[in-house]
Structure 1
Amino acid sequence: MVERQEQAASDAVMTRIGQSVMLHHAGDREEARGRLLDLWTEIGEDGDPLHRCTLAHYMADTQDDPADELAWDLRALSAAEELTADRPAGHEDASAARALYPSLHLNLAADYAKLGRREAARTHLRRARTAAAALDTDTYGAGIRTAIRRLETRLGENDPDDPRSGPPRQRS
């Protein structure tokens, strides 16, 4: 009985995160940010790592300041790492967090690029590329890989193992 109540509460949090994301995608960034921030306050910094990871991942997208976006993306990555360290590989929440790693690192790479921190951007771009190798060839995986290639082009990075990347750039 207690387990079902915990699952229902967990699902309610994810539902509320999803509703906020839908608001953001519909163009109501301020309302989405406000709801996510309220939910963050409810969850707390020591709340369920999957909730914190998911919420921070989406909260980053609602930020106006690139430094704030970076701070939220770092929170998301920290919660994902906490989640995967605490649970075995086959655990559902740990698997969900691992599936987010390519996107988390891609977002961090983009954040660092916006802030002019190209080496940090390249580091996270490489981590995103490595993590993306585990993704399926579905729409999500294809979208992440495409976004990685776009950022690689922006940063002048090429994946030597990807024939679509072209010849490696000469570095001076």
Structure 2
Amino acid sequence: MTDTAAPDTTMAAIIEAVTAGRQGDTAGARTRLLALWEEITPTGDALHRCTLGHYLADLYPDAAQALIWDIRALDAAAALTDARAQDHHASLQVAGFYPSLHLNIADNLRRLGSFDAAREHVEAGRARVDALPDDDYGAMLRRALVEVGEAVEAQSTEVRPTAPTM
């Protein structure tokens, strides 16, 4: 957050739930995020919806359930402005969200056997990689887009060994 912005209690609650999930409390994290979704509502703050959907998807091992939340995150990103994202953190640009969002959708579609649709999202993610930082995070996403693209071409529905898990 910038120094002049008021504390964002919803983002803090999302981050707290995600941290719990990463520490092994997947069910608890999912329950907390679902409760927050009810507070945010499907038409609420786009940054909250995008962030919550993106992280909640990772808490579902079932690709269909994860896909629902990844699509909600992508839809929210379309309504998000750089100004709103930068209210949370000055370095954020919405364009940088898209490679990861498309990657996650592509991977879930691939796991569901929808290879043509997965390929479209791999390409959409690749088209936006210039918005990624030139750091470890950007390199990881670029590699993951290659991996998912290769899995799509191989028509593999297996979970990738490098796929993020909570």
TM tier, smaller: 0.7 to 0.9
Moved over 6 A (4+): none
Q: Which runs of 5+ in 1 are unaligned?
A: 158-172
Q: Which residue pairs with 1:68 in the alignment? A: 65
Q: Which residue pairs with 2:101 in the alignment? A: 104
Q: Which residue pairs with 2:6 in the alignment? A: 7
- Give the TM-score normalised by the residue count of structure 2: 0.81
- Aligned counterparts, 1:119-138, within 5 A: 119-138=116-135
Q: Which has the higher contact order (CA 8 A, sep 6+)?
A: 2
CA contact (8 A) 2:99 2:128 kept: yes
State the distance in 2 between where 1:50 and 1:22 align.
18
State the distance in 2 between where 1:96 and 1:13 align.
20
Picking from 14, 25, 30, the partner of 2:27 is 30
Q: Give the Å deviation of 1:125.
A: 0.3
**Greater per-residue helix proportion:** 1
Alignment of 1:91 with 2:83, yes or no, is: yes
Bigger radius of gyration, 1 or 2?
A: 1
Q: Give the Å deviation of 1:97.
A: 2.8
Identity of aligned residues (%): 42
Backbone CA RMSD of aligned residues: 1.8
Amino acid at match of 1:78: D
What is the DSSP-based 3-state SS (H/G/I as helix, E as strand, rest coil) of the residue aligned with 1:7? coil
Q: Give the Å deviation of 1:70.
A: 0.7
Q: Which runs of 5+ in 2 are unaligned?
A: 87-91, 155-166
- Give the TM-score normalised by the residue count of structure 1: 0.78
Picking from 67, 78, 82, the partner of 1:81 is 78
